[in-house]
Structure 1
Amino acid sequence: MIRCLAVDDESYASDIIAAFINKTPFLELVGTTTNAFEALNLVQEGKVDLVFLDIQMPELTGIQFLKICGGKCKVILTTAYPEYALEGFELDVVDYLLKPISYERFYKAALKAQQILSPPQYEVIAAPVASATSDFIFIKGETKNKFIKVNYDDILYIEGLKNYVSVYTASQRIITYQALRELENDLPKPPFYRVHKSYIISLDKIKMVDGNTLYIGDQSIPVGETYKEEFFKVIRERK
């Protein structure tokens, strides 16, 4: 069992995490606390394997906590503020959960922790979710050290424009300075496929395919000759 501690300055938030821990077979709840220093003491005493840690706390921030604990436990960050994600991953957190947190997303993060913390003799618990891999990507912003978090499920299609790439979601268009090929290598396949020298699409978002043209929302996207054989093979397999 992985010994877990839920740390949040709002007790209702730590209670939610505690309920999720109790619901997960390979996790054991050590306790909950709204006091980051109390949490540090438990970690230093070796009583905790995994901390679910809020970032925004009044006495000691989650980032400060990470730097002080010095790798004596693994940490999954919980917060309503996505801008801290990159710094958290640079400090080797297991995962980053954005509030409000669903149990499905919590379980994915817990599975990552299990892969890291569980010794070989532990029984591997079958997951009720499809995958434990990340379901988002950080896209370079228009300034240095700016990264925009985009959920894979929100991406409709991606268009390459010379040295720039436009990422289209239902609510926004994100322009990033990088090659389409570079971004293509970072995206999971499926659901993302290159269908043209200038386009990558999400197979899940296709509304219709008509000849060598596919439609996502109101946008028509050509299927290039080079990519046609693989694309229609995938379409036929999904029938």
Structure 2
Amino acid sequence: MDEQRIEAYANLIQQLLTHPDEVNEILEANRELVDEGLLQVMELQAQLFAENDDQNAQNAAKFLRHLRSQLAEVLEISESSPSNNYSSEDYFNFLAEVLKATADSNGDSKVIYPLLQANLDKLDNNLADTLRNCATYTFSEVETDTAEYMANIIWNFSARLDDFPLGNKANNMEIVIAGYEAVLKVFTRESNPEDWAGTQNNLAAAYSNRIRGNKAENLENAIAAYHLALSVRTKQDFPMD
């Protein structure tokens, strides 16, 4: 799901919230956006509203979830993952929990690893997609300082998961890659050169260790990311690296 489409979903959701009496007309006028991706973004937005104690936000969360359920029936999309009994909301809640634990513990593996171990069955492609989509959508909705704070949390989580010895290694690497690629939407070469270079370096290592995908393409991605990192992390600027 690319940023442009996520933005289109967000605009559609805003229309639905602004004109709840015109839901059918709005959806009909935007039929090309009514798909599983829209349902995912609706759940993300509903979760954000649900975390707000304001009654209007709570009402918006209920409205979106009710509409989401109706659309899922029309589209004949299961609320649960085809490979397990977890819904997209379950994945979002787990992601929120593990990111909060990462933030509260400053990335302490002694705190994060027991949580991951208790949820090994959620460490899969669905979580990678949830992380990618949640980060992309949230980064577009918050101020720069908040985005950078969240990017640091995702970076720490990705680094800890990269070293996590349990679970399916192939799944773990997909989540790690999704995390680092999400972080790079915030840490750019211009705004955060050191963080950008460090993330590129970690992403290169992740692609080098990736199990899924084409080996040649993974290697090309790894080399490209290493070169990007080295374009900033020169011996002159970082003599200890």
State whether TM-score is above 0.5: no
Question: Which structure dedicates a bigger proportion of its chain to strand?
Answer: 1
With the length of structure 1 as denominator, give the TM-score of the two structures.
Answer: 0.32
Q: Which one has more relative contact order, counting CA pairs under 8 Å at least 6 apart?
A: 2
With the length of structure 2 as denominator, give the TM-score of the two structures.
Answer: 0.32
